[in-house]
Amino acid sequence: MAVTALWCDRCGNAATEGDHSPCAKARELEPPRFCPSCRRRMKVQIVPTGWTATCVEHGTRHA
């Protein structure tokens, strides 16, 4: 089941408020920084071929 993002994972503001298309564009060359479920800042580790972003509450995302 897909989970609706409550928060923008780049700027940390409410996903349903304001224009986040610049964030989406920037995210093509950035990992996420905020948990889309709770807005916590995530621990992000980047390696040459990928990244992981971990929220203490909602787990790890990776690419």
Partner 1 sequence: MPEILDRARAQVLVNGVGLDEAGVLEVLQLSDEHVPALLQLAHEVRMAWCGPEVEVEGIVSLKTGGCPEDCHFCSQSGLFTSPVRAVWLDIPALVEAAKQTAATGATEFCIVAAVRGPDERLMTQMREGVAAIKAAVDIQVAASLGMLTQEQVDELVEMGVHRYNHNLETCQSYFPNVVTTHSWEERWGTLKMVRDSGMEVCCGGILGLGESIEQRAEFAAQLAELRPDEVPLNFLNPRPGTPLGDQPVVAGKDALRAIAAFRLAMPKTILRYAGGREITLGDLGTRDGLLGGINAVIVGNYLTTLGRPATEDLALLAELKMPVKALSATL
Q: Which of residues 14-43 bind partner 1 (CB under 8 A)?
A: 28-31, 33-34, 41-43
Which uninterrupted H or E stretch holds 60?
strand 59-62
Torsion of Cα atoms, 32 then 34 then 38 then 42, to 10°: 90
Q: What share of the chain is helix, strand, coil (3-state, %, to 5)?
A: 15, 30, 55
Closer residue to partner 1, CB minimum distance, 16 or 25: 25
**Position among 12, 18, 20, 35 found at the interface with partner 1 (CB under 8 A):** 12
**Binding of partner 1 at residue 5 (CB under 8 A)?**
no
Binding region for partner 1 (CB under 8 A)? 10-12, 28-31, 33-34, 41-51
